[in-house]
Structure 1
Amino acid sequence: MRIIECHEEKIHLSGQIQDLGFLLVFDMHQCVAASEKTLLPGLSFSTIIGASFADIMAVLLPSVGVEQIESKIDDQIFYRYVERIRLFEQEYFLSIYRYDGKIYVETELALQERVQTTRLYYYAKYISDRGHQNNWQSLTELIRDIIGYDRVMVYQFLEDEGGQVIAESKLQDKESFLGYRYPEFDIPKQARELYKVFHARHTADVDAPVHGIVGLKKEDVDLSRTSIRAMSPIHLQYIRNSGAKASASFSIIIDGELWGLVTCQHYEARHVDLSQRHLCVFLTQYAVNNYLAGKQKEMSIFREAIATMEGELKTQLLVNRGQFNILEQYGSQIMNFMSADGVIIRHDQGLKQYGDVPSLEQIVQIDRQINATNYNSMYVTHQFVDNEKEQAAKFPGVIRLDVLPQSNWYIYAFRKERIVNEVWAGKPEKIHHTDDSKGITSFSPRTSFDAWIRTTAGKSEEWKDSEVNFLKDIGLLVQRAIAQRGGEIEELNKELIRSNNALETFSYTLMHDLKNPLTSIQLSAQLIASKKDLSEERRLKMAENIIEGSKLITEMMDKVYKISSGTHVKFEFETIDPEPKILGIIEDSMQRYKVPNLRYKVKDCLPIWGERTLVYQLFLNLVGNAIKYSSKESQPEIEISSKLEDDMICYIIRDNGIGMDLSANHNIFEIFKRMPNTGEFEGSGIGLSIVKRIADKLDAQISVESKLGSGTTFFVCFKHNRR
C-alpha cells in the first residue's frame, strides 16, 4: 500500500483553472494549449489551438501592436502586460506574461466596482499612524475593507513550521480565531514554495466548476504564476470543511522567506479581482516595511542600551584590575538584557547569582550534561531535561557561556518553565484516506476546526538570537580586555627598553648639538676678557652671541629631552627665513673646525614652514658636517641654496669634502653609524640620526648624493604650506 503525503501533490501542475475566464499558452510559433470553453469573437475553439500570438492579439487587443506587448513582457520591471478589456458584454482583466519559455495569456472577470487608487495614500497612512505594534491588525482591517470578506487574518509561521493567527478582522457574529495554532501539514511544503513565487492566491467559489487544459499534457503547463489556477481538490475540501466558500491569501515575505500569510475567508462565493489583489499585495508589502522599520527602531534602542553598558564594562575592565569583581557589577543588567529569570557568574574564586537560579547541586548536574555534549564555548537550549531524574528541569531555559574555560569562568542564564495552553483550530493530526481499489493511501483534509487545547510543559520561552549574541559579545569583550591588558604589560616592557635607549640617545644628542653654541659662548667670552680695547660695537656683538647661544642651549635641551623621552611635544610652526641662522652656523663652524679659508655661497634662501629650534638643529648638523668634512681640503667649499619643486621647498647643502661610498648600502642615518673614511674627524655618529628624526618631526624629506673623495650633497624638502 503506497502512502501519498500531501507535500507530494504537484499543485503547480494541476492542469485546471477556475470558472472565471480562460487561459492560452503560446510557444514561439503558435498557441499550444488552451483551457476548455475558451470563447473568442470570430474564432472557434478548434481554430484557437495552432493560432499565432498575433492572430489572438488582433482579437483581444486590436488597437495595440504585438511589438508593444512583447516589449512590456520582456521588461524587467513590468514583466506583465495588463489591460481591462470587454468580451461578450463582460469586462475582463487581460494578463500577458512570459514563463517557463512560453507566453501565457489569461483573462479573468473584472468587478464593476473599480479600485480607487486615490485611497492608496490613506491606506498607507492608516498603517503608519497606528504604529508597528498594530501593524498586522491594521493590515487585516484594510484588506477586509477592500475585498469585503467576512474574515481576514494574519497567520505567522513558527519555528516548528506550524502557524498561529496573530491578527484578525471579522464579522462581529463570527467566532474569533485570534491566537489559534495550525499544524505545519495544513500548508504543505510545496504550497509554501508557491507562495514565495506568486504572492496572491484566491478561490472565488469552492463549488464552482473547473476547466481542464487542452493541447499540451497536464504536466507540461506550469501554472505557478497563473492567477486563475484552480486549487487542488484537497485544498478545496479543506476550505469547505472550515465552513468557507471563498478564500484568498497574500504572501508576507521578509528577507526572501515566507514569514506568514494574510488569509481571507468568506462564507459565500465571492470573487476578488486582479486590481483588488494587486492593491492587497501592495499594502501587504507596505506593512512588511512598516513592521521592519519598527523592529529596526526597537533594535536600535536595544543596541544603544547594550552599547552603553558594554562601553562602561570595557572601560572598567581596561582601567581596573580584578575582572571578576568588575563583571559581577553588571550581573543584574545582563539578566535584564537577556530577559532571564536568573544569572550566575562563576569563576575559580567563587560565584555570584542574580534572580532565581538553580541550586549548587543542580548546577553540578547541568555542567555534567553540558560537558557531555559537543558544544563550542556556548550551550543554548530552552528545553533542558534533568537526565539523572529523567524529568523536565525547573529551569529548562539554559545558556552557559565559557568566558575563560581554562579559568573555569562561566556565565549562566536561566529561564523557568513556561506552561502554555495552546489553542488549536482542531486537533493537529493527519487523517489519511485509503483507496483499496488503487492501493493508495492519501492525505485527507481535516474536518474539525473546533478549538482544541494542548498544554505544553518542560520548555521555557525560546532564547532570541539577539539575546544569545549579546552574551557572546560580553564574553568576547572580557577576553579582549584581558588580552589587551596582557599586551599592555608587553608594551610597558618595550617602553622601558625604548626609554633606556632614548636616555642614552638624549645624552649623545646634548653632547653633539650643544658644542656649537657653547663654542660661540666660549670664544665670545674669551674675546671680551682678553681684549681690553674692544670697541663698544664689538663688545655688544660678543654679548649678543653669548645671550643667543645661551637661549639656544636652553631651547635645545628642552626639545631634545621631550623628543627623546617620547613626551608629546606641541611644536609651534611658523614661516621661517633660515638664512640668518645658516650664516651664523657657518661663522661658528669656521671657528670650531678652524677653517678660516672656507669659501661659501648662501643664495636663494626661500622661507620654509617649520619649528624654529628644530630647523636650527637640522641646519646646524648638515651645514656643520659639510664644513667639518671639507675642512682638510686645500680649498674647502660649501654651497647652500633652495628651489621650489611642485609643492615642496628643497634646500641643497653641497660640499667638496671627503664624500661617502653609498654603494655598500650603509644606513647613514642610523645612530652611531660612522663611515669608514671618517676616522680622522671628531664625531660620534649621532649627527645624521638627529637630522633624520628632526626631518620626520617637520614632515620633511631628506636624501643624499655622494661619491667617495668627491664631496656630498644633501637634499631636504619641506612642505610648501602646512597652514
Structure 2
Amino acid sequence: MRHIDCHEERIHSCGKIQSFGYLFVFDRYEQCIAASENTEQRWLCSASSLIGKNIDELLYFLLPKYNTLFQHFRDEIADPVFYRFVEKVDLDGSDYYVSIYRHAEKLYLEIEQSNGFDLKQTKLYYYAKHLEREDSDVWKSLTQLIREIIQFDRVMIYRFKEDKSGQVIAESISHNLDPLLGYRYPEFDIPQQARALYKAFLARHTADTESIVSPLVQSTEEEIDLTRCSVRALSPIHLQYLRNAKVRASASFSIIVDGELWGLVACQNVLPKHVDLAQRHACTFLTQYAVNYYLAVCRKQETQYIELTSQLEAELKEKLWLNNDLLATFNKFAHRLMNKLAADGMWIGNHKEQLSFGHVPAEQHIAAIHKLLDVQQENVFATHEFTYTEGLQTSEPLFPGVIKANLVPDSSWTLLFFRKEHRIEEVWAGKPEKIIQYDPVSNQKFPSPRTSFEAWKQINQGTSIKWEQREIQFIERIVLLVQQVLAKKAGEIQRLNEELVNANNTLDTYSYTLTHDLKNPLSAIRLSAQMIQMKSDLSEAFLKRCSTNILDAAQLMAEMMDKMHEEFASSNAVLLKPYLIDPTAHILSIVETAKQEHNVHHLHFELGEVYPVLAERTLLFQLFLNLIGNAIKYSGKEQQPRVNVYSRIDNSHISYFIEDNGIGMDLKDNSDIFEIFRRMPNSTGYEGSGVGLSIVKRIVNRLNATIAVESEVGQGTLFRVDFVRHQ
C-alpha cells in the first residue's frame, strides 16, 4: 500500500482549467499541442480540432476582429521585463483578457473573463500613499486596500515562521466573520510544492470551489507545466480544504522578501467571486509596493539601532582604554547593555571573579550553563530555548534565553545575557494534526484536508522571546571591540617594554660612548702636559702648540658631552643642522693621537683626496675617531702597519674609505659587528669594550648615511661610509 504525501501531488501539472477561462498550449514551433475542453462551449468547435494549428491561425479563428492587435506579441514576450503580452478584447458583448507568454520552451495562450474592474492611475497613487502612512501598520493597510479592490469577505497577511508554520499577523474582514488574527496554521497546510509555486508565480485564485473544471485535450501524453497559468485549477485536496473552511472563493498574492517566500496575502470569500486579471495585477503590484516600504522601514530602524548602539560601543571602548579592569568597566555599562538587548539579566566573570546584574539564574545553574555551553565553538552563541534542569527547584524562574560571549580568546572570561521564560497561549486554526485516509479503490493512503478550523489552544513554554539578529550582531561587535582593545593594549605594553629596553641600551651606549670617545682628547691633553713637564727649556712656539692642543681637546670634550646630554635629555634623535665640513684636520688630528695612544709610531698612513661632506661636526669627528682609531689599533702589531683614508664622489653620494692591513674579521657567520659589546674572537689582546662600532652605526644612522664592511681574517678590513650629497 502506497502512502501519498501532500508534497508529492503534482499541482503544477494538474491538466485542468477553471470554468472562467480557456487555455491553449503550443510547442516550440508554435503548433498547438493542447487546448482546454471547454473551448467547444464558447467557439462551438471541439478542442481536438484545434490541435496542430499555428498560433497565428488560431488567434484569427478565436478573435477574428483583433487580427492586427496580436501582430507584435512576440516582440513583447521576448523582453524579460514584459514577458506576458496582455490585451483586453470584447467577445459578443463581454470583456475578456487575452494573455500570451512563454514558459518551459512552450507558448501559452490564455483567455479569461473580465468582471469590469478598472483601476484609475489617481487611485493607484492614493493606494500607495495609504500604505506609507506612518501612523498605521503597512500589512494592515495592505489588507484593507486589497479587500477594497477585490471585495472579499476576508483578507489576511499570513507570515511564515522559521519552523515553516504560519501565523496571521494582519487582517481585514466583514463584520459577520470571526477574526483569525494571531491564529497559527501548521506547515502541512501549505505543502512544499505549493510554496514553490507561490514563489514562481505571485498570484493564484479560484472563483468557485464547486464549479466544474475543464481538462486539457492534448496531442501527446506529456505533462503540461501550468506553473505560470492564471486559469489553472486548484488541486482536489486544496479545494476540499477550502470547502471545509466554508469558503467558495479564494485568492492569494505572494509576499517575496529578499528573494524568499516571506508570507502570503490570503483572501477568502463565502460566496463565489471571480478576481479578474486587472484586479490580480493591481493586488500583486500593491503587495510588492508594501514589501518595498516594509523593507525601507526595517532598514531605517536598523540604521537607527546601529547609530544608538555605536554610541554605546564608542563609550565602552573609551572606558576600556582607560581602565584595565573588565569587571569595573562592564559594571558601569551593564544596565545600558541589558536595555539594548531587552535582557532580564547579565553575568560577567571568569574562574576567579564575577559580577551579575538584574535577574539571572542561581550560581549553581550558571555553572551548569557554562558546562553545557562549553562545547560551543563560536565567540557568540545565542538560543531562546536553552534547558538546564539539574538541581532546579520548581519555584525558580527559567532562563531559556541565553547569549554566551567569549570575551577573551583562550581565557575563561565570559559574558552572559539572560531572558526569562515567556509563556504564551498559542491559538491554532484547528488542531495541527495531519489526518491520513485510505482509498480502497486505489489501495493508497493520502492526506485528508483538515475538517475543523475551530480555535485550538496550547501553552507554549520553555522558551523566551527570541533574540533578534541585530542583537546578536551587537554583542558580536562588543566582543570584537573588547578583543581589539585588549590586543592593542598588549601591543602598547610590548611597545613600551621595547622602548624601555631601547632606552636602557641607549643609556648604556651613552655611558660607553663618553668613556670610549673621551679617551682620545684626554690622551691629547695628557701627552701635551707630559711634554711640558719633561722639558724645562721650552720655546714659546712649542708651548703655544701644546697649549693649543690642550685647548682644542678640552673644547672637543665639552662639545661631545653637550651632544650626549642633548640626546639623553630628549630620549630621541636630536634635530641636526648639517653643513659642509672638510674633515681633513679632524682626520690628521685623530691619526696623530691614535698613533700615540696605541704606540704605533711606525705606521704608514696615506690620506688620499678628501671631499667635504654634509654632516654635523661633533658626530663626524666621533665617526672618524672610531673607524680610524680601530684601523690603527688593529694593524699596529703588523711589521708594516698601513692605513689609507680616501674619498670618491658621484651624482648622489660622497663615499669615504678607511682601509687597513690589520687582523681582519670573519664575516661568514653573518654576525652583526655593529651590535654593542660584540668583539671578534681574534681581537683578544687588544684593548677595547666592543662599543666603538655600535657608536659608528648609531652616528651613521643619525647622519642619514650608510656603512658597509669588507674583511677577511689576517687580510685587513675596508670600511665604506656613503654620505648623501644633497639633503
- Sort the TM-score into its range (normalised by shorter chain): 0.7 to 0.9
1:601 matched to 2:610? The reply is: yes
Check whether the contact 2:611–2:654 (CA below 8 A) recurs between aligned residues. Answer: no
1:442 matched to 2:473? The reply is: no
1:231 matched to 2:234? The reply is: yes
Check whether the contact 2:240–2:449 (CA below 8 A) recurs between aligned residues. Answer: yes
1:269 matched to 2:261? The reply is: no
Check whether the contact 2:36–2:217 (CA below 8 A) recurs between aligned residues. Answer: yes
| Structure 1 residue 602 displacement after superposition | 1.0
Question: Take 2:194 and 2:705, find their aligned partners in 1: how far apart are those partners?
Answer: 72
- Tell me which structure has the larger Cα radius of gyration: 2
1:304 matched to 2:310? The reply is: yes
Check whether the contact 2:435–2:450 (CA below 8 A) recurs between aligned residues. Answer: yes
CA RMSD of aligned residues (A): 5.4
| Structure 1 residue 554 displacement after superposition | 1.9
Percent identity of paired positions between Structure 1 and Structure 2: 33
Instruction: Name the structure 1 match of 2:631.
Output: 629
| Structure 1 residue 157 displacement after superposition | 1.8
| Structure 1 residue 164 displacement after superposition | 1.6
Question: Take 2:144 and 2:526, find their aligned partners in 1: how far apart are those partners?
Answer: 100
Check whether the contact 1:581–1:616 (CA below 8 A) recurs between aligned residues. Answer: no
Q: Secondary structure at the match of 1:418?
A: coil
State the TM-score, normalized to the length of structure 1.
0.74
| Structure 1 residue 662 displacement after superposition | 5.7
Instruction: Name the structure 2 match of 1:10.
Output: 10
Instruction: Name the structure 2 match of 1:137.
Output: 140
- Listed one character per residue, the Cα deviations across residues 549-581 of structure 1 (whole Å, up to 9, x for unaligned) are 63453233432676xxxx5x37647xx554227
| Aligned pairs for 1:191-230 within 5 A | 191-215=194-218, 220-230=223-233
Check whether the contact 1:433–1:441 (CA below 8 A) recurs between aligned residues. Answer: yes
| Aligned pairs for 1:307-456 within 5 A | 307-308=313-314, 310-311=316-317, 314-315=320-321, 319-320=324-325, 323=326, 327-328=330-331, 330-344=333-347, 353-357=356-360, 360=362, 364=364, 371=371, 375-376=375-376, 380-382=383-385, 384=387, 386=389, 394-397=397-400, 399=402, 401=404, 413-456=417-460
Instruction: Name the structure 2 match of 1:550.
Output: 558
Residues 118/599 of structure 1: CA separation in 2 closer, same or farther (3 Å cut) = farther
The amino acid of 1:8's aligned partner reads E
Check whether the contact 1:393–1:458 (CA below 8 A) recurs between aligned residues. Answer: no
Check whether the contact 1:313–1:327 (CA below 8 A) recurs between aligned residues. Answer: no
Check whether the contact 2:140–2:172 (CA below 8 A) recurs between aligned residues. Answer: yes
2:655 to 652, 656, 661: 652
Question: Take 1:716 and 1:682, find their aligned partners in 2: how far apart are those partners?
Answer: 28
- Listed one character per residue, the Cα deviations across residues 617-650 of structure 1 (whole Å, up to 9, x for unaligned) are 4785268626863897768341153534xxxxx4
Question: Take 1:57 and 1:672, find their aligned partners in 2: how far apart are those partners?
Answer: 103
Instruction: Name the structure 1 match of 2:189.
Output: 186
Residues 312/579 of structure 1: CA separation in 2 closer, same or farther (3 Å cut) = closer
Aligned residues: 687
Question: Take 2:625 and 2:203, find their aligned partners in 1: how far apart are those partners?
Answer: 86
Instruction: Name the structure 1 match of 2:255.
Output: 252
State the TM-score, normalized to the length of structure 2.
0.74
Question: Take 1:247 and 1:663, find their aligned partners in 2: how far apart are those partners?
Answer: 92
Instruction: Name the structure 1 match of 2:293.
Output: 287
Residues 476/42 of structure 1: CA separation in 2 closer, same or farther (3 Å cut) = same
Question: Take 1:228 and 1:520, find their aligned partners in 2: how far apart are those partners?
Answer: 115
Residues 715/494 of structure 1: CA separation in 2 closer, same or farther (3 Å cut) = closer
The amino acid of 2:254's aligned partner reads S
The amino acid of 2:428's aligned partner reads W
Q: Secondary structure at the match of 2:169?
A: strand
Instruction: Name the structure 2 match of 1:647.
Output: none
Unmatched tracts of structure 2, length 5 or more: 61-66, 596-603, 636-640
Check whether the contact 2:195–2:261 (CA below 8 A) recurs between aligned residues. Answer: yes
| Aligned pairs for 1:32-181 within 5 A | 32-37=33-38, 45-46=47-48, 49-51=51-53, 63-64=71-72, 68=75, 71-73=78-80, 78=81, 80-84=83-87, 86=89, 88=91, 90=95, 92-99=97-104, 101-104=105-108, 106=110, 113=117, 115=119, 127-128=131-132, 130=134, 134-144=137-147, 147=150, 149-171=152-174, 174-181=177-184
Q: After alignment, is 189-198 or 23-32 more displaced?
A: 23-32
Q: Secondary structure at the match of 1:97?
A: strand
Unmatched tracts of structure 1, length 5 or more: 645-649
| Structure 1 residue 312 displacement after superposition | 5.6
Residues 695/296 of structure 1: CA separation in 2 closer, same or farther (3 Å cut) = farther
The amino acid of 1:421's aligned partner reads E
